[in-house]
């Protein structure tokens, strides 16, 4: 096993396209690192530079304590783990796992010992004589990992291994990969465009956008303290709401409520007059279900509810609002880049399934605005990553403006 250090790595393809731009990333020995971002952001390119399938234009790739830039893939001792279709259907599970050892003509005794040990680890012992077609999807994934294990690779690399599977199988396989990684403790780099996979699998997640690393952090840190609009919009489902927020003196006007800014955040905002406020759907609640003690730590305001969706264990309400054209344009662009189908001029609110709020009603919502993020609309920078924009006790006395009618 080994740590992987990526130092100021760049990739320019032969046609001049810069796919990876000055990426530096330290992956600890035994860590499960996710590379995530929309399609085309450079995830596969970066993974292929780690494993040696793609030349590194500049920078250093260090595995363990050796620089490997000039080393051939087979000399890097890393294992790409392919999904189940890479198994040979006519070979037994034993021979499928043994495959890399057979390739290098390892003695039979060694093959037997390594395959037996790997099978034990992977709970495949009683399946060794079967063919891949006789196994479940999860078991096949384990066979593919068995192949990587017998090679005693320093790290496992996965490139979107679950993207061709249906939702149910994807969930099962995700659990399987996580369980095996925890059991083996092998350094793992896993590429996906799926934020759910990123959030559930990784010790840490590296978010890429157009070849540039945006933020590397634990899933929780990314979710609660995104560095910018891009990370905030990419992580979380349904996505964070982005609302226009007008600065009026030391007050902030949102579509449905006005809140007082803390002096230090007010100072940070400087002469910006319009911001984008980021509020996650679950930061809202049906005001009628909020206990008195908690009610005082937030604001209550009225909204026009367009549609509600009841899903048994959760419920969403969709609330249209108006936004100035420049903010709308900025959000449309972000939406496109995130491959998001979310309509940005409607707010999504997560409600308790017990809530009686219904379509077409004016509903009373509760929000603790100290949980809100404020973004610079031009750079996308999160101006409130380390500090709440509103004090909770101030929020309680905030005056809601007259509710606006939807467009």
Q: Is position 44 an interface residue for Mg ion (rule: CB under 5 A)?
A: yes
Q: Choose which of 8, 24, 40, 362 interacts with ligand ADP (CB under 6 A).
A: 40
Tell me how far the alpha carbon of residue 163 is from its chain's centroid. 15
Percent of residues in the chain assigned helix, strand, coil, to nearest 5: 35, 30, 40
Provide CB contacts within 8 A for 189, sequence distance 6+. Answer: 4, 27, 33, 34, 35, 47, 50, 155, 156, 157, 158
For Mg ion, give the closer residue by CB, 163 or 237. Answer: 163
Q: Of these partners, ligand ADP, Mg ion, none, which one is at the site of residue 293 (CB under 5 to 8 Å by kind)?
A: none
For ligand ADP, give the closer residue by CB, 197 or 286. Answer: 197
For ligand ADP, give the closer residue by CB, 14 or 109. Answer: 14
Q: Is position 41 an interface residue for ligand ADP (rule: CB under 6 A)?
A: yes
For ligand ADP, give the closer residue by CB, 40 or 324. Answer: 40
| Phi, psi angles (nearest 5°) of residue 321 | -150, 170
Q: Is position 82 an interface residue for Mg ion (rule: CB under 5 A)?
A: no
Instruction: Kindly indicate which of the ranges 10-18, 219-227, 248-256, 269-277 contains the residues binding ligand ADP, using the contact rule CB under 6 A.
Output: 10-18
Instruction: Kindly indicate which of the ranges 39-47, 77-85, 199-207, 256-264 contains the residues binding ligand ADP, using the contact rule CB under 6 A.
Output: 39-47
CA distance 122 to 83: 16
Q: Choose which of 5, 45, 214, 315 interacts with ligand ADP (CB under 6 A).
A: 45
Coil/strand/helix, residue 227: coil
Q: Is position 88 an interface residue for ligand ADP (rule: CB under 6 A)?
A: no
Instruction: Kindly indicate which of the ranges 42-50, 67-75, 182-190, 319-327 contains the residues binding ligand ADP, using the contact rule CB under 6 A.
Output: 42-50
Q: Choose which of 8, 13, 85, 387 interacts with ligand ADP (CB under 6 A).
A: 13
* Size of the residue set binding ligand ADP (CB under 6 A): 12
Beta strand spans in 31-106 (E): 32-36, 58-63, 66-67, 78-80
Instruction: Kindly indicate which of the ranges 11-19, 136-144, 356-364, 373-381 contains the residues binding ligand ADP, using the contact rule CB under 6 A.
Output: 11-19
Helix 137-150 × helix 108-121 angle, to 10°: 130
For Mg ion, give the closer residue by CB, 163 or 397. Answer: 163
Provide the terminal-to-terminal Cα distance of the chain, rounded to the nearest Å.
58
Q: Of these partners, Mg ion, ligand ADP, none, which one is at the site of residue 19 (CB under 5 to 8 Å by kind)?
A: ligand ADP
Q: Choose which of 2, 6, 9, 19 interacts with ligand ADP (CB under 6 A).
A: 19
For ligand ADP, give the closer residue by CB, 17 or 310. Answer: 17
CA distance 39 to 129: 39
CA distance 345 to 351: 19
How far CA 12 is from CA of 9, 189, 276, in Å, comes to 10, 22, 34
Q: Is the peptide bond before 238 cis (omega within 30 degrees of 0)?
A: yes
| Binding positions for Mg ion, rule: CB under 5 A | 44
| Binding positions for ligand ADP, rule: CB under 6 A | 13, 15, 17, 19, 37, 39-45
């Amino acid at each position: 096993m080994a740590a992987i250090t990526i130092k100021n790595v760049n990739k320019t393809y032969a046609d001049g396209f810069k796919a990876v731009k000055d990426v530096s990333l330290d992956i600890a020995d035994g860590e499960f690192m996710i590379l995530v971002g929309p399609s085309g952001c450079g995830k596969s390119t970066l993974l292929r530079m780690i494993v040696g399938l793609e030349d590194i234009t500049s920078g250093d790739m260090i595995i363990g304590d050796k620089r490997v830039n000039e080393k051939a893939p087979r000399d890097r001792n890393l294992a790409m783990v392919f999904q189940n279709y890479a198994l040979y259907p006519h070979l037994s599970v034993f021979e499928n796992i043994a495959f890399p050892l057979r390739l290098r003509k390892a003695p039979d005794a060694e093959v037997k010992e390594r395959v037996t040990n790997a099978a034990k680890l992977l709970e495949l012992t009683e399946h060794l004589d079967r063919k891949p077609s006789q196994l479940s999807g999860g078991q096949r994934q384990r066979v593919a990992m068995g192949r990587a294990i017998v090679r005693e690779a320093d790290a496992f690399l996965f490139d979107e291994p679950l993207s061709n599977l249906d939702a149910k199988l994807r969930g099962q396989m995700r659990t399987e990969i996580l369980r095996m990684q925890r059991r083996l403790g092998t350094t793992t780099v896993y590429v996906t465009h799926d934020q759910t996979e990123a959030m559930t699998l990784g010790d840490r997640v590296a978010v890429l956008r157009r070849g540039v690393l945006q933020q590397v952090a634990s899933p929780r840190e990314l979710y609660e303290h995104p560095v910018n609009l891009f990370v905030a919009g990419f992580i979380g489902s349904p996505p964070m709401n982005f609302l226009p927020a007008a600065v009026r003196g030391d007050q902030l006007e949102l579509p449905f409520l006005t809140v007082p800014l803390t002096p230090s955040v007010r100072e940070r905002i400087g002469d910006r007059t319009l911001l984008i406020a980021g509020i996650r759907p679950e930061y809202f609640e049906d005001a009628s279900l909020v206990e008195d003690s908690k009610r005082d730590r937030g604001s209550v305001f009225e909204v026009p509810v367009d549609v509600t969706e009841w899903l048994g264990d959760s419920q969403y309400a969709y609330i249209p609002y108006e936004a100035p054209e420049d903010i709308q344009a900025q959000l449309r662009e972000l939406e496109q880049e995130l491959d998001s189908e979310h309509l940005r001029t409607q707010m999504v609110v997560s409600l308790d399934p017990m809530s009686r709020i219904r379509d077409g009603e004016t509903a009373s919502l509760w929000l603790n605005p100290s949980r809100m993020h404020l973004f610079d609309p031009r750079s996308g920078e999160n101006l409130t990553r380390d500090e709440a924009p509103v004090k909770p006790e101030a929020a309680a006395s905030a005056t809601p403006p007259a509710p606006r009618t939807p467009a």
